Structure 1
Amino acid sequence: MQLKNLERISQSGQRERNQIWNTLIQVYRDFANQSTIHGIKYTAQAKTATERLLWLTILIISLCCAAELANKFYERHESGNMRTTVVSDQFPSFKLPVPTVTLCHGNLVSAERLNHFLKKQKLHMPTGLSIKDFERGVQHFREIIYPYHHYPKELSNLQQILDANNISVAHLLRELSPKCMDVLLMCMYEGRIAHCDDVFVSKLTSYGFCCLFNSDEQNDLRISRKVLWTRNKYSLNFGTRYILSVLMKPYNASDRVAAITYSGGYKVLVHDKYTMPGPHSISFMLASTYETIVGLNGKQMTTSPEVLTLASKQRKCRPSTKENIYRLSNCYKECRRNMIYDRCKCVHYFSSELEPHQIHCNLTHIACLAKVMPDTYSLKLHSMCDCLPDCKGTEYTISITGQPFTAVRFRPGQFYRKAEQHPNSTALHVTFANQVSILERKELVLSWINLVSSLGGVFSLFLGCSFISIFEFVYFFSYQLIKKLQSKYTRNSIVIKTKLTIREFTN
């Protein structure tokens, strides 16, 4: 009895599978006869199996060709989807934000300020060390800027003296470096005389204490912290109408104890307002006793809204937001900072903020810094630092014209009269080189509309199908299939009930 039941169940299951398969074949024939896809109807209407197999082979080949070509279009869409176009080469320069100009005195340690410091500060000397050791160590203070580890003994002695007197590297630099007001004689902004302490601010940078024009004083400029927007400066001046003019005192070679340069002069850096001077800045040496004119050539980059909607991996740039300003150089600086901390367990002496577990690098870290610094300059920004270029921003190149400062004899005016009172002084003028600049925009070459159009053309070429064909396929193999299966199930139920009724009536 049980064997008969099992056989009956097995036969019933086989019957149901056959019904489903037959229903699928019937739905496929209906789909093939009514579909808009070219050639598919012949797989159902052909009289012989050979003809049906031939048309099925043709359809499969066409489908493979369409899929391969569609993949090629998609890869081209992904790889070469953006371009940078020149929107205008007549973009007004007065619409460009004025960059920050940083002046760093060549002397890192001034002899005059060193003598003043030794008179003012009574230093406690550790056992076996003297003022001479302090002075010898200060002579090699350049190592904190450019670490080479050439004078380990002298710097170790200096660090012992600093530790004994609770003096940091930054504090010692502040005491021994030339002050902005000690260097700057006169400043002019937009053609008007201005107090230099209103135009410039002194900041600790990677080159020591420098004087910054148009600096953003509110932000720490670290990528991990919020950098807020502040008001930018703009200028109508260009050519011989200078944005900024600075008159600097004569360079005194005898005042040099330690320096960031090998010759007399000033290090000048031009960079974005929301960044600090560093490797990404435009820099040059301002020759002493020269009058130098710096022409700014600007190029502003914008990004289309379509590009900004893409993922960062696709657009290959990172935008700023209302809450935070992104700059590539800040990201790079943060990456270098983290790498130095991982290797040397300290952060740059000029870092303005520290985490609770961090310390500033001092002279005992010079050996480690000398090893790690070359590696930090060879970082691959995208793969190692996850740093991307700015989506929007202004880039500058500069043109420099300089000659011996003899114009005081030919040009009247308060600026040049002041220069006459200080022979061998140095002058710097900064202005826009031209009245116009370049405006560029990063935009999509192929939008999704182009991609859909290309895919539509490919599938139409090889299969003759359209967007409606997708709905045809869904309609037949979902709605019609379910409907036919339900219909057969209902008929089978009626037949079974009828047989049972007849059997009961017979019994």
Structure 2
Amino acid sequence: MEMKTSKKASDSQLNINQDINAKSEPKIDTKTAAKSTFLEFCNSTSIHGVQYIGVRRRFDRCFWIFIVIILLCLCVFYVRPIIVKWRKNPIELNFEHTFESISTISFPAITVCPLHLPNKKIYNFSQVLDTAYKTGFDDFTLEQLKLYKLMCQTCYEDSLNDYQKYKSAKMFPLNVTLNDSDKFGNYLLPTPFSLYNCRGVKDKHPWTCDMEFHQHLLDIGLCHSFNMLPKSQIFRPNVNYGLSETPNYVPPNISFFENEIRAGGKQYSVYSNRDMFTLRTLFFEEFQDEKCDPDFFFFIHKPNEIPWEGVSRFRMPLKDKPQEMFFSVEPDVILTDDNLRSFEPAYRDCYFADERPLKYFREYSKANCEYECYVNVTEKQNNCLPDFMPRSSDSKICKISTTQTIIIEPFKLDAEHLSNCDCLNDCNSIDYKIRLSNIHSSREKRLQFTNEPMDENKEDYIRQAHRGAINVKLYLMKVKPDEIPKNITEEEIDGIVRNNIEKFAPHFNTSQWNSTVFHVYFSKSKYLPMRRYTTYTFADFISQCGGIFGGMMGFSFLSIFEILYFCTIRLLEKRKLAHVDVSGENMGFEDTERDQN
């Protein structure tokens, strides 16, 4: 027991003596510790040549300092272009190595604006125009005002000199909707004749245009669009815009429509450039006007975009109307790697579809962004929006005089407005380059309008060629879909119309017509897309820099942590030591051995 007590007492006395000696022995200063740490680093680092810097002889030390500085400058010289390329040109746009089938992209959307003039036997627009300019619009009904407004949109160029008189109209907002177009059916040429016949893309056989075309209100009047995305997929909820969700004609459940019915929402594609879309439109003498001679507009655009001046737009004057028009389409496809999302949009000069939210549209595209910019500027300048532009529920509808002014004197987007709108390119885009060619048929003279009565044989020929199709159209126009027998045939419909011609006959002569045929097709069956990608990934950048530094100096990422270690942890440990040898002979190893002991 006494031995244990004496042992504890001696141990306590030893610890006390050690503490007193430690406190009495002074610690080294920071400069000495730093020098000792540097000598140890020089001796143990993997960087070439640095170990000779810590030697005692000054000449050797200076020589190796010079060599290391020279190599370091060479490394910086060779690495600098890599850094510049990484910062300024990290993205390249090049063609892919393989061709793709046109079936991988959507067939373009087509919007046609036929000559929607009223039947002059029922509503003579020239006479109405003269009467309105003389006596004003006070006696007009709301329906007549809406029809007049729609006609002025179609004929805005013809009434350009007199449009100031239009300001005498009733000064209240006038909103023409798609529901009003049904009311105008008694005045305008029915769509079964303005969109007479379609072929291709959907089916190689002729099919009913009205089952795929949707009514579309534009600044130039009432139009019809094919192969566009549904309105609910283009616009955000609660956006008012004149694009019909349903086609012009919803087919009844009858036998000869079975092959034409399809599920909506999916866009058409084709597999070959031989698969051509063809549209025939008819023109009738009754639907011409003395003062209004509008052009036929034809748009080719992307399915998710609104046709306006920013897309491919073609105008066909009625008096110079060719018999056939061929539109050769060449797709220009650009794809972007998803890893470019880490770059700023301004840096890559594009937006992904879900990256830049728009006020009216669900997905971003440059054309939609510019159109929305145009709409916003128009609303800001006029404190209202015309009925043919997208608008929210709280937007004001422009008065008819203001709408006319916007149509005749449209605002032009300049560079400043486009810069403020920040409309960059689409990261993933499909643009359609169009080449147009016209053909005037040798039959043009025979089909021209004439005031002379048609030859009986010629009339019989035309009626014989088109009687069946025309009778079916007249029947479907007059009979409600739920009243049509399910198993009725086209021959039976033809017989019904012939036996009741007075009931089904329209208010115009269906035998005197002129037509134009539009053909839209891809120029080739394959296309070569372009891809936007990073020239250097971060791994490529590090590997190139590491190759230069490693090859010349043996420098690596581990060397960085080695430097950090000696500048922090090892330096702090050195300051705790009582004595270090900084003579250079042991290069810090005496301290290390003493620490270990």
Same fold (TM over 0.5): yes
The amino acid of 2:298's aligned partner reads V
Residues 237 and 431, structure 1, Cα contact 8 Å, conserved in 2: no
One-letter code aligned to 1:316: D
| 1:215-269 per-position Cα deviation (integer Å, ceiling 9, x unaligned) | 223337458999xx94221123533x423333332577832654654xxxx2111
- Corresponding residue for residue 329 of structure 2: 296
The secondary structure found in structure 1 opposite 2:224 is: strand
The answer on 1:449 being equivalent to 2:539 is yes
Does 201-210 or 306-315 show the bigger shift? 306-315
Report the more deviating stretch, 384-393 or 104-113: 104-113
2: CA distance, partners of 1:272 / 1:139: 26
Work out whether residues 317 and 390 of structure 1, in 8 Å CA contact, stay in contact via their aligned partners in 2. Answer: yes
In structure 1, give the amino acid aligned to 2:33: T
Cα shift at 1:392: 1.7
Q: What is residue 37 of structure 1 aligned with on the other side?
A: 47
Q: Which amino acid aligns with 1:465?
A: F
Q: 1:84 aligns with which of 67, 90, 93?
A: 93
Is residue 155–residue 363 contact of structure 1 (8 Å, CA) maintained in 2? yes
Q: Secondary structure of 2:330's match?
A: strand
Q: Is residue 364 of structure 2 the alignment partner of residue 326 of structure 1?
A: yes
Give how far 1:84 is off.
2.5
CA distance in 2 between partners of 1:285 and 1:117 (Å): 23
Q: 1: distance between equivalents of 2:367 and 2:150?
A: 31
Mapped partners of 1:225, 1:481: distance in 2: 67
The answer to whether the 8 Å contact 1:149/1:366 transfers is: no
CA offset at residue 273 of structure 1? 0.4
Give the match for residue 29 of structure 2.
19
Match of 1:156 among 167, 178, 182: 167
How far is 1:373 from its partner? 1.1
Deviations 1:290-317 (Å, cap 9, x if unpaired)? Answer: 1122222223332233334544233322
Out of 214, 228, 242, the position equivalent to 1:201 is: 214
Asked if the contact 2:138/2:169 (under 8 Å) is kept, the reply is: no
Residue 168 of structure 1 corresponds to which residue in structure 2? Answer: 175
Contact 1:93 1:436 in 2 (8 A): yes
Q: Is the 8 A contact 1:35 1:469 kept in 2?
A: yes
Whose Rg is larger?
A: 2
Displacement of 1:334: 1.3
Q: Using the alignment, how far apart are the partners of 2:105 and 2:51 within structure 1? A: 65
Select which of 263, 274, 281 maps to 1:247: 281
- 1:272 partnered with 2:302: yes
Correspondence list, 1:482-501, <5 A: 482-488=572-578
For residues 370-381 of structure 1, what are the structure 2 equivalents within 5 Å?
Answer: 373-374=411-412, 376-378=413-415, 381=418
For residue 59 of structure 1, report the CA deviation from its aligned partner: 4.8
Q: Which residue of 2 aligns with 1:74?
A: 83
Contact 1:327 1:389 in 2 (8 A): yes
TM alignment of 1:25-424, pairs within 5 A: 25-45=35-55, 47-48=57-58, 56=65, 59=68, 63=72, 66-67=75-76, 69-87=78-96, 90-105=99-114, 114-115=123-124, 141-142=152-153, 151=162, 153-160=164-171, 163=172, 167-168=174-175, 174=181, 175=184, 180-181=191-192, 183-189=194-200, 190-219=203-232, 221-222=234-235, 230-239=265-274, 241-250=275-284, 254-255=288-289, 257-258=291-292, 261=295, 266-286=296-316, 288-321=321-354, 324-360=362-398, 362-364=400-402, 373-374=411-412, 376-378=413-415, 381=418, 383-406=419-442, 422-424=512-514
Letter in 2 for 1:232: Q
Cα distance per residue 1:449-504 (max 9 Å; x no partner): 22112221343366441222112112211221222234459xxxxxxxxxxxxxxx
Q: Following the alignment from structure 2 to structure 1, what is the Cα–Cα distance between the partners of residues 315 and 136?
A: 42
Q: CA deviation at 1:154?
A: 1.0
**1:432 matched residue in structure 2:** 522
Letter in 1 for 2:106: P
Change (3 A) 1:318 1:65: same
| Contact 2:335–2:427, Cα closer than 8 Å, also in 1 | yes
Amino acid at match of 1:80: N
- Establish whether residue 476 from structure 1 lines up as the match of residue 570 from structure 2: no
Task: List per-residue Cα deviations over 1:12-38 (Å, max 9, x = no partner).
Answer: 9xx87x712221221122112222333
Question: Residues 56, 153 of structure 1: CA spacing in aligned structure 2 closer, same or farther, 3 A cutoff?
Answer: same
Distance change (3 Å), C-alpha of 1:372 and 1:350 = closer
Alpha carbons of structure 1 residues 255 and 237: separation in structure 2 relative to 1, 3 Å: farther
Whichever residue aligns with residue 168 of structure 1, its letter is: N
Give the direction of change, closer, same or farther, for the CA distance of 1:257–1:178 in structure 2 (3 Å limit): farther
* Cα distance change, pair 157–380 in 1 and its aligned pair in 2 (3 A): closer
CA distance in 2, matches of 1:28, 1:329: 63
1:31 maps to a residue whose letter is F
Q: 1:447 to 1:139 in 2, by over 3 A?
A: closer
SS in 2 for 1:425: strand
Is contact 2:299-2:307 (8 Å) kept? yes
**Worse-matched range after superposition: 58-67 or 396-405:** 58-67
1:465 maps onto 2:555 in alignment: yes
SS of 1:468's equivalent?
Answer: helix
Q: Give 1:54 deviation, angstroms.
A: 6.8
Tell me by how many angstroms 1:173 deviates: 8.9
Q: Which has the higher strand share?
A: 1
Mean CA deviation greater in 166-175 or 469-478: 166-175
Q: Which amino acid in structure 2 is aligned with residue 217 of structure 1? A: P
Identical positions, percent? 18
Query: Would you say the 8 A contact 1:92–1:435 is kept in 2?
Result: yes
1 CA distance for matches of 2:269 and 2:568?
Answer: 65
Q: What CA distance in whole angstroms lies between the structure 1 residues aligned with 2:569 and 2:157?
A: 75
Task: Note the alpha carbon deviations across 1:391-414, whole angstroms, 9 max, x for none.
Answer: 2232222233321234799xx997
Deviations 1:317-367 (A, max 9, x none): 222359953321111111222222233322343124324254446423666
Distance in 1 separating the partners of 2:407 and 2:125: 31
Is the Cα contact below 8 Å between 2:155 and 2:294 reproduced in 1? no
State how many pairs are aligned: 453
- Report the alpha carbon displacement of residue 64 of structure 1 after superposing the two structures with TM: 5.6
Q: TM-score of the superposition, structure 1-length normalised?
A: 0.73
In the aligned structure 1, how far is the partner of 2:117 from the partner of 2:416? 28
Distance 1:230 1:173, change over 3 A: closer
Instruction: Give the conservation status (yes or no) of the 8 Å contact 1:291–1:404.
Output: yes
Q: In structure 1, what is the Cα distance between the partners aligned to 2:572 and 2:528?
A: 63
- The one-letter amino acid of 1:388's match is L
Q: Which amino acid aligns with 2:82?
A: F
| Local SS of the residue matching 1:255 | coil
Give the alignment's TM-score, normalised by structure 2: 0.63
- SS state of the match for residue 231, structure 2? coil
1:493 corresponding residue in structure 2: none
CA distance in 2, matches of 1:309, 1:108: 53
Q: Secondary structure at the match of 1:44?
A: coil
Q: Structure 2: any 5+ residue segments left out of the alignment?
A: 1-22, 240-263, 447-461, 471-509, 580-597
- The Cα shift of 1:274 comes to 0.5
